[in-house]
């Protein structure tokens, strides 16, 4: 019998050269967290990127230009990244740290997932969350 509930907790979000955000790491508390900023800064983009990271499907290429860093100073208009730090419960009931992310290379017109966790031996290019996570979220 498989587990019905997958326990996971978002612990931090990281933006680098996304919309109006040059670089920002935001730690998240247990429970509800509020992200408040001006229109056009990247709130909806953040939700879209979160969904992509969770379901393991890269965002549609037609949206990539809207993710690009909007300022003419600071930041990087050619490369961007978004990361989600998540604690995910393993089969032993222990919470393990994972980082799922997306890198954008606007010059090469490519994007790729990244995964990092001690559970997989560190950093890997691609979408490699634990099996239980993939079962619950992939392509959903």
Identify the pLDDT of residue 1. Answer: 45
Helix (H) or strand (E) holding 21: strand 21-27
Report CA 57 to chain centroid distance, whole Å: 11
| DSSP reduced 3-state for 104 | strand
Give the C-alpha distances (Å, rounded to integers) separating 112 from 56, 65, 101: 10, 15, 8
Helix (H) or strand (E) holding 99: strand 95-105
pTM of the model: 0.91
pLDDT at 40 over 90: no
Between 3 and 74, whose confidence is greater? Answer: 74
Identify the pLDDT of residue 4. Answer: 73
């Amino acid at each position: 019998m498989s587990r019905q509930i997958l326990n996971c907790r978002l612990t931090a979000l990281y933006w680098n050269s996304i919309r109006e955000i040059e670089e920002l790491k935001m730690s998240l508390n247990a429970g509800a967290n509020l992200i408040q900023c001006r229109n056009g800064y990247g709130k909806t983009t953040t939700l879209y990127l979160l969904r992509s990271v969770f379901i393991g499907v890269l965002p549609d290429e037609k949206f990539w230009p809207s993710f690009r860093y909007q300022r003419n100073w600071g930041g990087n208009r050619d490369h961007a990244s978004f990361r989600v730090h998540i604690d995910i419960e393993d089969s032993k009931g222990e919470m393990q740290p994972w980082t799922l992310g997306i890198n954008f290379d606007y010059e090469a017109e490519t994007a790729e997932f990244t995964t990092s966790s001690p559970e997989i031996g560190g950093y890997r290019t691609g979408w490699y969350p634990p099996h239980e996570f993939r079962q619950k979220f992939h392509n959903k």
